[in-house]
Chains A and B, each alone.
Chain A
C-alpha cells in the first residue's frame, strides 16, 4: 500500500516537471524576435566571407563599424559603393570623401546582386541572433542539478557523520577496555627502550658497525653525487613569464606552426623570441579570447577576463591603441624570462638541426603544443646531446654536396646509414671551441 502511494506521488512529480520543461521549451522556441532568420543567416554568411576581413558590426577595424549603416547612408548609395566604389567615387563627391577613411582602398564586389547586398545590409541592421535566456531557465538548471547528483553539502554532512561515528566507537571501546581492568599500553616507553637496546647491541657488534658505516658512506656519496650532478641542469625549469602566453592555445588548438613565430630557427643559431609585431599579425584583429577559454597558469586557472587582460599587455608593449586601432609609437619591450640556456662553453645551432637535419622541435622541447606554461623538457646535458648523436641517422638523400663523403663513410663502417657520431658528431671540437 505504502509503495503504491509512493509510486503515484513519483508519477505526479515527474509529470509536473515534464510539463514545466515543455512549457519552457515552447516559450524558448516561440520567442519571436521580429526577424527574418533566413535573411539574417544569408547576410551573415556573405558578411563573414566578404566583408569581415575589414569590417566589424560594433567596432572599427580597417574600415568603419557597419552596425546600423543604413541609418547613415541611403540604400542606393551603399549599393553603388559596394559594387564598385572606385567608379562611384568619380561621380559622387560623398563617395570620394568616404574613400579617404582608410589607407587601403576597398575592394569592388561586382559579383554581388542587389538581393545579396540587401541581405548583408539586413544583417548589419539586425545583428546577431541574440540567445535571450527565457525567464525561469535558470530555475530549470537548478532543478536539474538537484535531481541529478547530490549537492556537495550532503557529501560533507555524510563525511562528518562518519568521522563522528568513528570517534564514538573508539571512545566506547576504550571505556570497555578500562572497565575490563586492562591498563593503557605503554607504547612510547617500550619503543624507546627497544631502540636503546638495539643501539647497545649494535655498539658491541663490530661486524654490524662496519656494515653500518659502509652503508652510511654509500648513502652519503649517493646523495652528494646526486646533488652535484643536478648543478646547472635545469630540467623542468618553469619560471613565471610576464605574459600568460599559452603554447597550448596557439600551437595546439589553433595549429600555428612553431616556426611562424620562432622564424629565426630556420636560418640562425638562435630560435629567437618573436618580437611583438609577430603577435600583432593576429592580435590586431583578435582582442579577446573565445568564450570559455581557460588555461592553467602558475597553479591557478585563468579565465576569459584575465586572459583578455593578458592580450592587453601585448597591446601595451606594441604601443597599439585597441580603441582607435592605430599605433601610438610608445613601445615597451616584453621581458620574457629565458628558459633554455646553454653555457657559453658549448656551441649549438638551431638552423643546423631544424633546416639541415629536419628535426622536429618537439624532439628536444617536448610536447610544447600541450603546455599552457612553458618548461624545459630536456636536461640539455652533454650526455643527452651525445646520445642523440649516436642514435640519429644522417639523411643521405638529396645531398649532392656530401654524397661522396657519405658513400666513403658508409663503406668504411660497413653500414648503409651513417649516424651523426660516425660523421664526426662526437668530436670535442664540433661543439666546444
Chain B
C-alpha cells in the first residue's frame, strides 16, 4: 500500500516534469498531422534518401522564370557581362522602391546606406576593405555578374533574390553611385 502511494506520487511528479521539459515536444494528438507522409521542404530525406532541398538539374527553368545566367565566373566572363549585359527593367519609381527595400535587406550590412562601403559590419570592423561604389568602374552588367557569382570575399546572392529583384537592386545601386559621384 505504501509503495503504491509512492508510485503514484512519482508518476505525477514525472508527468509534470516531462510537461515542463522544453527540449522535447508536448504530446501530440494524431501525430501524423504533424509528421506527415509528404516530403517537407527542408526534409533531410526525400526521393532516393537524398535531402529534399537540392540544386535543380542543370538547365532547369523555373515556372515563369528566366533562362539561367550562363556567363562563366572568370575574368573574361566579368568583362563580357560588363560590356554586354543590359537591364530588362524599365527605370521607374516602383522598381526603384523595391530595389531600395531589397538593398536594405541584402546589401546594406556591408555596403552601407549610401553605398560608400561603411555598412555596420564594416564600421564595427567585422569586414574590411569594402569598396566605395564611386571608386569602382561598374556597369549594370558587371553588378549583375557580381551579384550572381560574387567577387572576392563577397559571395553569390543569386539564391536569395529573384531575377526581377536583382535588376531592381542594380537600378538602386546605380542611383546611389550617381549620388556618390556628384
Q: A residues near B, CB below 8 A? A: 48-55, 61-62, 103-105, 107, 111, 227, 230-234, 236-240, 254-257, 259-260, 263, 267, 270, 272-273, 275, 277-278, 280-282, 284-286, 290, 333, 335-336, 338, 341, 343-345, 375
Interchain Cβ contacts under 8 Å between A and B, 7 examples: A62-B152, A231-B26, A240-B23, A254-B126, A255-B109, A263-B106, A278-B159
- Closest beta carbon of chain B to A293's beta carbon, Å: 11
Q: Which residue of A lies closest to B12 (CB)?
A: A223
B146: shortest Cβ distance to chain A, in Å? 10
Q: In the bound complex, what is the Cα–Cα distance between A273 and B36 (angstroms)? A: 19
- Across the interface, A260 reaches (CB within 8 A) one of B27, B44, B105, B124, namely B105
Q: Does B74 contact A (CB under 8 A)?
A: yes
Beta-carbon contacts of B1-39 to A below 8 Å, as 1s and 0s?
Answer: 000000000000001000100111111111001101000
CB-CB under 8 A from B63, the residues of chain A are none
Within 42-86 of B, Cβ neighbours of A (below 8 Å) are at 42, 44, 51, 53, 73-75, 78
Residues A277 and B153 in contact, CB atoms below 8 Å apart: no
| Bound complex: CA A107 to CA B44 (Å) | 42
Which of B44, B121, B150, B160 contacts A263, CB < 8 Å? B160
Q: Are A254 and B121 in contact (CB under 8 A)?
A: yes
- Interface size on B (CB < 8 Å)? 53
* In contact, B129 and A53 (Cβ under 8 angstroms): yes
Q: Tell whether A227 pairs with B19 under 8 Å between CB atoms, given A104-B75, A234-B26.
A: yes
Which chain B residues lie closer than 8 Å to A375 at the CB level?
22
Interface pair A335/B22, CB less than 8 Å apart: no
Q: What residues on A are CB-neighbors of B34 within 8 Å?
A: 232, 341, 343-344
A237 proximity list for chain B (CB < 8 A): 22, 25-26
The reply to whether A54 and B51 form a contact with Cβ atoms under 8 Å apart is: no
Q: Are B152 and A53 in contact (CB under 8 A)?
A: yes
B92 close to chain A: CB less than 8 A: no
- Chain B residues near A254: list those with CB within 8 A: 109, 120-121, 124, 126
| Cross-chain contact A49 with B129 (CB below 8 angstroms) | yes
User: What is the CA–CA distance of A263 and B51 in the complex, to the nearest angstrom?
Assistant: 19
Q: Given A232-B28, A281-B155, A344-B33, decide whether A238 and B23 contact each other with a Cβ distance below 8 A.
A: yes
* Known contacts A284-B153, A343-B34, A375-B22, A263 near B161 by CB under 8 Å: yes
Known A53-B153, A55-B129, A335-B44; further 5 A-B contacts with Cβ < 8 A: A49-B117, A49-B128, A103-B73, A260-B105, A344-B36
Contact B131 A53 (CB under 8 A): yes
| Complex Cα spacing A33 to B154, Å | 36
Q: What total of A-B pairs shows CB separation below 8 Å? A: 130
**Binding site secondary structure of chain B:** loop
Q: What is the CA–CA distance of A335 and B156 in the complex, to the nearest angstrom?
A: 23
B residues 149-178 near A (Cβ < 8 Å) are 150-157, 159-162
**Which residues of the other chain, B, contact A281 by a CB distance below 8 angstroms?**
150, 154-157
Q: Is the CB of B36 within 8 A of A233?
A: no
Asked whether A284 lies within 8 Å of B155 as measured between CB atoms, the reply is yes
A259 to B162, CA, bound (A): 14
**Bound: A48/B130 CA distance, A:** 9
Residues of A within 8 A of B136 (CB): 107
Given A254-B124, A260-B106, A272-B42, decide whether A230 and B19 contact each other with a Cβ distance below 8 A. yes
Shortest CB-to-CB span from A247 to chain B, Å, is: 15
Q: How far is the CA of A105 from the CA of B22 in the complex (A)?
A: 52
Instruction: Tell me if A267 and B162 are in contact (CB < 8 A).
Output: yes
* Bound Cα distance from A106 to B40, whole angstroms: 44
Q: Which residues of A contact B30 (CB under 8 A)?
A: 343
Closest chain B CB from A123 CB (angstroms): 13
If A61-B153, A103-B73, A267-B162 touch, whether A257 touches B105 (CB-CB below 8 Å) is yes
Let me know if B121 and A53 touch, CB within 8 A: no
Please give me the residue from chain A that is nearest to B52 by CB atom: A333
Closest to B75 in A: A105
- Chain B residues whose C-beta falls within 8 Å of the C-beta of A62 in the assembled complex: 152-153
Known: A54-B152, A105-B75. A333 touches B51 (CB 8 A): yes
A278 to B160, CA, bound (A): 8
Query: Which residues from A are CB-within-8-Å of B135?
Result: 111
Q: Are A338 and B26 in contact, CB atoms less than 8 angstroms apart?
A: no
Which A residue sits closest to B32, measured CB to CB? Answer: A344
* A61 to B154 alpha-carbon distance, docked (Å): 12
